[in-house]
Amino acid sequence: MKQKKVVIIGGGLGGIAAALRLAATGWQVTVCEQGARLGGKMNVWECDGFRFDTGPSLITMPLVFEELFKVAGSALAEHIELAPMRPLSDYVFADGTRFTYTSSLPEWLATLRELEPRDVDGFLRFMRLGARLYALSKETFLRRRPVDAPDMKSLRALRHLPLRYGWGNYHRTVAAHFKNPSLRQLFDRYPTYVGSSPYASPATLAVIPYIEYAFGGWHIKGGLYRLVESLVALSRAMNVEILTDTRVERIEHDGKRVSGVRLADGTRLEADALVMNGDAATTGAMLGQQKISQTSSGKISQTYSARSLSGFVMLVGVGRKLPQLSHHTIYFSRDYPREFSQLFNERRFPDDPTIYVSAPSRTDDSLAPSNGETLFIMANAPANDETWTERQIEQARERVFERLSKSGFPEIESDIIVSDVWTPQRIARDYLMPGGAIYGTHSHGWRRAFLRPPNKDANIGGLYYVGGSTHPGGGTPTVLLSAKITCELIERYENGKG
């Protein structure tokens, strides 16, 4: 029997995971990556002995990663070394409040008692809500498409359906559980994990802080890009053809079914099936269609106003040790609602941005020279199409360092040895993401949160989707679950095993 061919457009984490799964079931797999390296947003930049992850700075739900390595006939522990993040993060607030958020429950409960004794019960109730949402979603939303008829697992999971607080507004649910304003701001941050505002997102996103607390945050020794390097090595061992610097310009089809792709250099690759690992909103242009809109009903779009957050990122190598820093620290703005209004309503970089600083060299000395530190400094930014001028970049940089300085961050500018700046425009260009929207569409309202672009195209046979812009959404474990869902659909519809 002739081996079936699949072409995967994009070599991000979802594309690599799909390649491994499909190769394991007998497909002849070709991955076309338009960049020089695989990994997509999970990538790396190295300079003068400093090694930076340019995307995610930790992983959670390590069991999802272990399962992927098992599918590939290997084991995660044979390739990478995971280290738990203890503590999870330090939090610094504009009024001078500071505390450490730790996954050690006794230590964290002691911190809560100091901040607001009543919030001990609120935190435990909030975690119980998250636990119910996770128990429900792992057998429904995270396992299968929303449009599929419920099976016994999903029906049994309905017993976990929270009847209160799980379906309203995320911020109001947080406020109902916490009295302390700093704790409200801490837990309001979690919708930004999927590029969204806490003031517009559904309360079901309370599953995100639960997952982080229950499964922990994990660092990969040598940086997170080691994960990509390991998966690429496994892919090659399984005879996956990997083509870098190879851009797909057109998906070829007859209006009913795909037949292959046309590359930028004119080469045609035949395929029985295609997997789109780029931003789903860009598929219409590849299909030669002027407009594709909607989601699980069969169409795909990403309107300007529906874009998730982008980011302003500075990768900074410092020529001295910074022992006062933790691996992760968040420096909050003074007015959180105003910050999100500027991001989503005014669509501009905030006057006073919240700053996330990852200093992985504090726990992994392989990432910087012996006398230095590796810093990933990020503020949220709107996903606009405008070109960032040098003046805009300098203004954003000034605002970032102004917030850091006000929050007690050490003065480092005179000690910077290497640096690299990423704007939404650069993210859009390098990763082919409209406006630099890191997660595709935002999760405002239940339709945006739950009816994301589908894993299987409803109109064109043999066309599938994987990655953070499609179901079930962004985040490294979720992207791997996206690949699992998509590959199960391919087995069902292309090989008749469903």
Q: Is residue 335 part of a domain?
A: no
Full residue range of the structural domain in which residue 197 is found = 108-212
497 has pLDDT over 80: no
Q: Is residue 201 part of a domain?
A: yes
199 shares a domain with 270: no
163 shares a domain with 130: yes
Average pLDDT over residues 114-127: 98
Instruction: Look at residue 2 in the predicted model and tell me its pLDDT.
Output: 82
- Backbone phi and psi for residue 201, each to the nearest 5 degrees, phi listed first: -90, 155
308 has pLDDT over 70: yes
Instruction: Look at residue 302 in the predicted model and tell me its pLDDT.
Output: 53
Which residue type does 495 have? Answer: N
123 shares a domain with 68: no
User: CA dihedral in degrees (320, 321, 327, 328; nearest 10)?
Assistant: -60
245 shares a domain with 189: no
CATH of the domain at 465: 3.50.50.60
157 has pLDDT over 60: no
* Of 496 and 208, more confident: 208
Instruction: Look at residue 493 in the predicted model and tell me its pLDDT.
Output: 93
- The per-residue DSSP string of 169-204 comes to BHHHHHHHH--SHHHHHHHHTGGGGGT--TTTSBGG
Residue 475 near residue 193 (C-beta atoms within 8 A): yes
Instruction: Look at residue 138 in the predicted model and tell me its pLDDT.
Output: 74
Average pLDDT over residues 231-246: 97
Instruction: Look at residue 475 in the predicted model and tell me its pLDDT.
Output: 86
125 has pLDDT over 70: yes
Residue 157 near residue 488 (C-beta atoms within 8 A): no
155 has pLDDT over 60: no
Q: Is residue 298 part of a domain?
A: yes
- Report the C-alpha gap between 493 and 258 in whole angstroms: 14
293 has pLDDT over 50: no
Instruction: Look at residue 137 in the predicted model and tell me its pLDDT.
Output: 78
Average pLDDT over residues 29-47: 96
- Backbone phi and psi for residue 275, each to the nearest 5 degrees, phi listed first: -120, 120
Q: Is residue 99 part of a domain?
A: no
227 shares a domain with 200: no
Q: Is residue 424 part of a domain?
A: no
| Helix (H), strand (E) at residue 402 | helix 390-406
pLDDT digits (tens, 9 = 90+) for 353-404: 999 999 999 999 999 999 999 999 999 999 999 899 999 999 999 999 999 9
183 shares a domain with 115: yes
Instruction: Look at residue 298 in the predicted model and tell me its pLDDT.
Output: 41
Q: Which of 212, 242, 261 is the last residue of a domain?
A: 212
Instruction: Look at residue 498 in the predicted model and tell me its pLDDT.
Output: 44
Instruction: Look at residue 136 in the predicted model and tell me its pLDDT.
Output: 85
461 has pLDDT over 80: yes
Instruction: Look at residue 291 in the predicted model and tell me its pLDDT.
Output: 45
121 shares a domain with 185: yes
* Of 300 and 132, more confident: 132
Instruction: Look at residue 161 in the predicted model and tell me its pLDDT.
Output: 63
474 has pLDDT over 90: no
Q: Is residue 247 part of a domain?
A: yes
261 shares a domain with 187: no
What mean pLDDT is reported for the chain? 91
Per-residue pLDDT band for 292 (boundaries 50, 70, 90) equals very low
74 shares a domain with 17: yes
The pTM of this model reads 0.92
Q: Is residue 296 part of a domain?
A: yes
* Residue of 468, 404, 483 lying closest to 194 (CA atoms): 468
Q: Which of 186, 212, 238 is the last residue of a domain?
A: 212
Q: Is residue 122 part of a domain?
A: yes
131 shares a domain with 196: yes
Instruction: Look at residue 234 in the predicted model and tell me its pLDDT.
Output: 97
309 has pLDDT over 80: yes
The total of structural domains in the chain comes to 2
Residue 388 near residue 366 (C-beta atoms within 8 A): no
207 shares a domain with 117: yes
Instruction: Look at residue 153 in the predicted model and tell me its pLDDT.
Output: 61
Average pLDDT over residues 452-475: 90
Q: Which of 212, 243, 277 is the last residue of a domain?
A: 212
> Of 113-117, 302-306, 404-408, where does mean pLDDT reach its minimum?
302-306
Examine residue 323 and say whether the peptide bond preceding it is cis (omega within 30 degrees of 0): no
118 shares a domain with 75: no
